[in-house]
Amino acid sequence: MMEALFTDYTLRTVALGASLLGVVSGALGGFALLRRQALLGDAISHAALPGIALAFLVTGSKAPLVLVTGAALAGWIGAALIMSVTRRTRVTYDSALGIMLSVFFGFGLVLLTYIQRIPGANQAGLDNFLFGQAAALVEKDVLVILGLGSGALVLLAVFWKEFKVLSFDRAFGATIGLPMKRLDHLLTALFVIAIVIGLQTVGVVLMSAMIIAPGAAARQWTDRLGRMIVLSATFGAVSGLGGALVSSSAHHVPTGPAIVLIVSAIVVVSLLFAPNRGLVWRRIREWRHGRELRVDAVLLDLYALASQHTSSDHPHAERVLNVMSGVSASARPTLRLLELLGLARKIDASRWSLTPEGVERAQRVIERQYGS
């Protein structure tokens, strides 16, 4: 398959288009995620469907730029309606989002059905917009993705610091004289572009995965905005490319679902294994920390008992330590660990005492916790 990438013209077109749209949706999706607008992306992509159908009905053309423009206008209108309904009525944001998404999508489906019944109309291909079909990408499509996508990325870079303030602390941004409202409109417009250029390949139903998932995965790996967006774009490119290749090589596999599977795998790996934030490492850290605390607690118990006697290596019954450690579990596993570390030793079947190293460590712990 990798060889074909260099020799097969169609495959090369598909690969280029899919990775480009992955970069753009990954980068802008990362911002949407930080602004808690990930679901807005879902609404915009669904709202775009009637725009595509109407653009075809009005112009009779299936030129990529025509359809993308229709999609962008409808998506933008959908987003604007959600905002204005939320602001002006008692309908909450999530309800407005749900309503708008289904109304626009339903309307889009009606229009698609209508178009299919028009005799003689060359409607073939419009239904690809539902689940996406990367194999249908031709050079004209890639040029549109390239043009709009790189424009969006350039603007993202130009207004980088302003978009950062907008996403982190909008009110503050307004007080330092930045036109936050206009910046908000601009970033939302770029977001709409990122969505609509992916629709033909990924499909309106699953486009939100391309918006949300790369950013969510990237956030796990880094605490810097710049790195996060670059990483998110990379994840987007990898999953876009992978999904498109899978769906082009296996016939009748829609690209949207293929991409979603790949990007979901990236998210799962990131959630589990990313350093610092990954669940696995966090569990390991918690476990280590807990063990350290238990070791110190039993060590101090032994030390406290020893200090009641003249010699620090005076042996003490395990039962006493069980009571002192206050946990329902026995102190034995921790005592074993202490023995392993050379801090305590077993005198006989049920009694333990501190080693000189143990005494030293106990004194250090006390100093750290109560001293200085």
Partner 1 sequence: MATEKIDAAIDVRDLTVAYGEKPVLWDIDLEVPSGVLMAVVGPNGAGKTTFLKSILGLVRTAAGSVLINGRPYADMRQRVAYVPQRGSVDWDFPTNVLDVVMMGLYGQVGWVRRPGRAERDRALMALDQVGMESFAERQISQLSGGQQQRVFLARALVQDADIYFMDEPFQGVDATTERAIIDLLRALRERGKTVVVVHHDLQTVPEYFDHVMLLNVRRIASGPVGDVFTEEHLRTTYGGRVSFVRAVAAAT
Q: Under the rule (CB under 8 A), what is the footprint of partner 1?
A: 34, 158-162, 164-165, 167-169, 171-178, 219, 222-225, 228
- Considering the complex, state which of residue 140 and residue 185 has its C-beta at the smaller distance from partner 1: 185
Contact between 141 and 200 (Cβ < 8 Å)? yes
Residue 156 CB, shortest distance to partner 1, in Å, is 13
- What would the 3-class secondary structure string for 69-114 be? HHHHHHHHHHHHHHHHHHHHCCCCHHHHHHHHHHHHHHHHHHHHHH
- Considering the complex, state which of residue 152 and residue 228 has its C-beta at the smaller distance from partner 1: 228
Residue 96 CB, shortest distance to partner 1, in Å, is 18
Residue 186 CB, shortest distance to partner 1, in Å, is 12
Residue 161 CB, shortest distance to partner 1, in Å, is 5
Residue 173 CB, shortest distance to partner 1, in Å, is 8
- Considering the complex, state which of residue 14 and residue 231 has its C-beta at the smaller distance from partner 1: 231
- Considering the complex, state which of residue 93 and residue 159 has its C-beta at the smaller distance from partner 1: 159
**Which ranges of the chain does DSSP label H, i.e. alpha helix?**
4-7, 9-34, 38-59, 64-88, 93-117, 128-131, 139-158, 160-168, 170-175, 180-196, 199-202, 207-221, 225-249, 255-273, 279-306, 318-325, 332-340, 356-370
Residue 176 CB, shortest distance to partner 1, in Å, is 3
- Considering the complex, state which of residue 227 and residue 319 has its C-beta at the smaller distance from partner 1: 227
What distance in Å separates the CA atoms of residue 357 and residue 185, rounded to the nearest whole number? 66
- Considering the complex, state which of residue 34 and residue 298 has its C-beta at the smaller distance from partner 1: 34
What distance in Å separates the CA atoms of residue 238 and residue 25, rounded to the nearest whole number? 12
Question: How is residue 62 annotated by DSSP?
Answer: -
Q: Is 1 exposed, middle or buried (0-12, 13-18, 19+ CB in 10 A)?
A: exposed
Question: How is residue 63 annotated by DSSP?
Answer: -
- Considering the complex, state which of residue 158 and residue 293 has its C-beta at the smaller distance from partner 1: 158
Q: Is 161 exposed, middle or buried (0-12, 13-18, 19+ CB in 10 A)?
A: exposed
Residue 222 CB, shortest distance to partner 1, in Å, is 7
